[in-house]
Each structure stands twice: as structure tokens, then as C-alpha cells.
Amino acid sequence: MLLIAGLGNPGPTYAKNHHNIGFMAVDEIARRWGFPAARSRFHAQVAEGKIPTPQGDVRTLILKPQGFYNESGRAVGEALKFFKLQPSDLVVFYDEIDLAPGRFRMKTGGGAAGNNGIRSITAQVGPDFRRARLGTGHPGHKDLVHGHVLSDFHKVDLKWVEPLIEACADAAPLLAAGEDEKYQTEVMRLAPAEKVDPRKLARSGGAGGGGEP
């Protein structure tokens, strides 16, 4: 079984925030693969379905914590424990300010890099889960980060936001098969985005973003 969690803040006030691109991505995965309507469970909105792979369908739980972003670990930890899953069975989709807008990177393990949602999950399940990092850009100075992540995407951003979340959904069979490197490559093939130093973009009045590791 695969547990896919998206990070965001619940409610319409936050729905279009940079911080909610994780919610957007997992919603699109659920839609693309015909998951039934979500229901309340584990202090989250949960939808269960299947994602096809060459080896057969993979039972998948899509989870959107309904506490606030910084408390995401409670819901994720409860679901992981209930289904007796390992951290390697967990993929977390979330916004990454240290990637340029539209860039996408998979990684397993590591630190929280200042992301309190990831810190919350790590406190519950340890660091060794899979991370799907959706680049949303950096405002250029650390004092501006809070306002940036809680601000809405502009209309001009939709030209990369929509292709990115659609690519995450279309390529999901690779994710379900555990082929994280191939999944990353396919997402970027379907939704290419330029690799740039977005801190320089932010200073020059561009889209903003973060350096790419």
C-alpha cells in the first residue's frame, strides 16, 4: 500500500496559496486516477483508490491533513501506524521555496530545511520518507518567506502550476511502482521548467524562487 500525503492549510482562505500546492497535486492525482470522494479520517480528508503499474494496481491512500500545515505529522503518523506502513511507503507532496518555480525534485530522507510541515511529519515517523518537492520560488529574503508562502499564486503562475500538477498525476504510475528517479524525470519531461537561480530573479523583480540543490 502507498500513502500519498499532500501538505497545505484547510479551508477556502488558503486554497490558492503557494503553501497549498501539495494539496493541489494530490487532488489532481485522485482526479486523474478516478479515486472516490474523500471522507474524514485520521484528522484528514482521505480518499482510497488504485494506481496502475506494469506489476499490477497499487492500493493507494491519498491524505490531506486538516490540521494546519505545521501540524501535518499528526494525521500522517496516525495513518501510517493504522495501516502498519513503513516510511518508505509514504510520499509527501509539498511546496519547496528552494526550488525555482515549476521545478520538481524527489528525494528520500534528509532534514526539514526550515519546513515546519516536514518537521512535524519527521517527529512522528522519522526522516526516511519520500518527498515530492514542488518548486514555488523564494521571495529573495528570509523575512519575506512567511508572507510569500501564504500568498496566492498570481494568474501568470498558472502557466507553470497547472502543467506541473497535471504532470505529477499523469506520471503517478512510476511513483506507485517505486521508481522515484524515473518519476522525477517524467514529471519534468511533461512539464519542463527552466533551472535558474530564483533569488536573483526575486531581486530583479522576476517570479522568485530558490537555488536548486
Q: What does the alpha-carbon distance between residue 93 and residue 35 come to, in Å, rounded to a whole number?
A: 17
Residues with a known catalytic role: 19
User: pTM, whole model, 2 decimals?
Assistant: 0.91
9-18, 39-48, 137-146, 162-171, range with the lowest pLDDT: 137-146
Residue 139 — φ and ψ, nearest 5°?
Answer: -75, -5
| Average model confidence (pLDDT) across the chain | 92
Place 200 in a pLDDT band, splitting at 50, 70 and 90.
Answer: low
How many Cβ atoms are within 10 Å of 82's Cβ, its own excluded? 11
126-140, 183-197, 199-213, range with the lowest pLDDT: 199-213
Q: What does the alpha-carbon distance between residue 167 and residue 162 come to, in Å, rounded to a whole number?
A: 9
**pLDDT 10s digits, 67-98:** 999 999 999 999 999 999 999 999 999 999 99
- Complete edge-to-edge strand list for the sheet that includes strand 39-41: 39-41, 44-51, 58-65, 2-6, 90-96, 130-135, 104-108
Q: Can you read off the three cell numbers belonging to residue 65?
A: 491533513
Tell whether the model's pLDDT for residue 59 goes beyond 80. yes
pLDDT attached to residue 10: 96
**pLDDT 10s digits, 112-140:** 988 999 999 999 999 999 999 999 988 88
Give the mean model confidence (pLDDT) for residues 142-150: 89
- Going by C-alpha positions, the residue among 113, 106, 114, 110 that lies closest to residue 131 is 106
Q: What does the alpha-carbon distance between residue 74 and residue 27 come to, in Å, rounded to a whole number?
A: 20
Dihedral sign computed on CA atoms, order 101, 107, 108, 110: negative
